[in-house]
């Protein structure tokens, strides 16, 4: 009986230890799973940091170059300002003539019956959902985020966008963007409309061709200003203009050759708008559930006019560097 009692005590003790062990394993597994589910949150890094609620600041070296605005109150996420090599904005946010133009942004007027171009009544918002990754790197800082294009009270489609900032000499720099649109539970069609910017750009007032500015539009095919650039297929378009002191700066918008259709046409306006358009002068783009559409784009922020900035060479570098 004594031996049996001892054996029972030992068995009971073993059982308790086993329960404790497996409970600990379960707790550890759950903790690890929860840790894996935690998404990156921008903090106080040197090159990518949360400057204010809903505002992500990007730095190259010791200077600010852009702020990404993603707050819940906004109709869409966008970059503003985008600073030129002289430290002054080369973009404009919500100008009085077109308040829905937000510096550097993604937008389209006709997506399966929903408008993401205009704002207010009858329009649909693009909501920032979360950051997937923050790139706290001196030579290529940036981020990847997920955004929902809302169709009523639920997402119509989602995009995953990555922005990387690449320093060049004399304060010039590149902004590389890759965006992937994914259809969710229904077919989605980007319709034929001139009101599209994938991406869109609104330049600073002094860089406009008209409306008080003294700027210039030039495309890869030799077209100059709206008359020769609007609705025309081109690999890139450069928007340049003089500062009040006469110094010229510019921002060139470049579409990657892997994009389809290619080359895109451009919603290029003398009053300061430059939107990359893949549907109005081509065909509607339809994405079925489980399918996606990826577009790659580069902006070159530079000194001088198009010829002086060697935009052609920069585009050739883009094609070689990014596949």
- Predicted local distance difference test score (pLDDT) of residue 43: 78
User: Given a cut of 60, is residue 38 above it in pLDDT?
Assistant: no
Residue 197 in any domain: the answer is: yes
Judgement on whether residues 53 and 144 belong to the same structural domain of the protein: yes
Query: Is pLDDT of 144 > 80?
Result: yes
Same structural domain, 14 and 73: no
Tell whether the model's pLDDT for residue 248 goes beyond 70. Answer: yes
- Same domain for 69 and 174? yes
Cα separation of 305 and 314, whole Å? Answer: 14
* 199-211 mean pLDDT: 98
Cβ contacts of 206 within 8 Å, gap of 6 or more: 212, 213, 214, 215, 241, 242, 243, 244
Assess whether 32 and 110 both reside in one domain. Answer: no
The reply to whether 210 and 307 lie within a common domain is: yes
Q: pLDDT of 69-123, one tens digit each?
A: 999 999 999 999 999 999 999 999 999 999 999 999 999 999 999 999 999 999 9
On whether both 178 and 82 belong to a single domain, the answer is yes
Q: Are residues 220 and 119 in the same domain?
A: yes
CATH code at position 284: 2.70.98
d(CA 207, CA 249): 8
**Are 93 and 80 a contacting pair, CB within 8 Å?**
yes
Whether residue 18 is found in the same domain as residue 67: no
Q: Work out how many domains the chain is built from and give that number.
A: 2
> d(Cα 69, Cα 37) in Å, to the nearest integer?
24
Q: Is residue 43 domain-resident?
A: no
Are residues 137 and 28 part of one domain? no
The pTM of this model reads 0.88
Look up the domain containing 18 and give its range: 1-38
User: What pLDDT score does 214 carry?
Assistant: 96
Confidence (pLDDT) at 39? 55
pLDDT-derived band at 42, boundaries 50, 70, 90: confident
Pairing of strands 236-242, 248-255: antiparallel
Residue 28, pLDDT above cutoff 50: no
Q: Are residues 13 and 153 in the same domain?
A: no
């Amino acid at each position: 009986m004594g031996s049996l009692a001892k054996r029972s005590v030992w068995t009971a003790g073993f059982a308790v230890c086993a329960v404790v062990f497996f409970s600990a394993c379960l707790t550890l597994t759950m903790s690890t799973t929860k840790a894996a589910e935690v998404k990156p949150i921008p903090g106080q890094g040197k090159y990518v940091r949360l400057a204010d609620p809903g505002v992500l600041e990007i730095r190259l070296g010791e200077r600010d170059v852009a702020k990404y605005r993603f707050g819940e109150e906004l109709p869409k996420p966008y970059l503003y300002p985008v600073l030129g090599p002289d430290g002054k904005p080369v973009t404009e946010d919500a100008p009085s003539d077109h308040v829905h133009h937000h510096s550097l942004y993604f937008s389209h007027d006709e997506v399966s019956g929903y408008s993401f171009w205009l704002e207010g009544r009858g329009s649909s918002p693009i909501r920032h959902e979360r950051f997937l990754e923050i790139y706290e790197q001196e030579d290529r800082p940036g981020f990847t985020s997920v955004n929902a294009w809302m169709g009523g009270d639920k997402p119509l489609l989602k995009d995953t966008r990555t922005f990387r900032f690449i320093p060049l000499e004399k304060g010039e720099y590149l902004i590389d963007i890759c965006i992937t649109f994914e259809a969710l539970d229904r077919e989605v069609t980007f319709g034929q409309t001139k009101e599209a910017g994938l991406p869109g750009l609104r330049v600073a007032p002094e860089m406009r061709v008209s409306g008080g500015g003294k700027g210039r539009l030039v495309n890869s095919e030799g077209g100059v200003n709206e008359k020769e650039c609007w609705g025309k297929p081109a690999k890139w378009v450069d928007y340049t203009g003089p500062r009040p002191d006469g110094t010229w700066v510019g921002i060139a918008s470049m579409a990657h050759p892997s994009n389809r259709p290619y080359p895109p046409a451009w919603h290029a306006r003398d009053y300061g708008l430059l939107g990359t358009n893949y549907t109005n002068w081509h065909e509607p783009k339809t994405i079925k559930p489980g399918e996606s559409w990826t577009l790659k784009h580069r902006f070159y922020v530079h000194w001088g006019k198009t010829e002086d900035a060697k935009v052609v060479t920069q585009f050739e570098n883009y094609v070689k560097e990014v596949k």
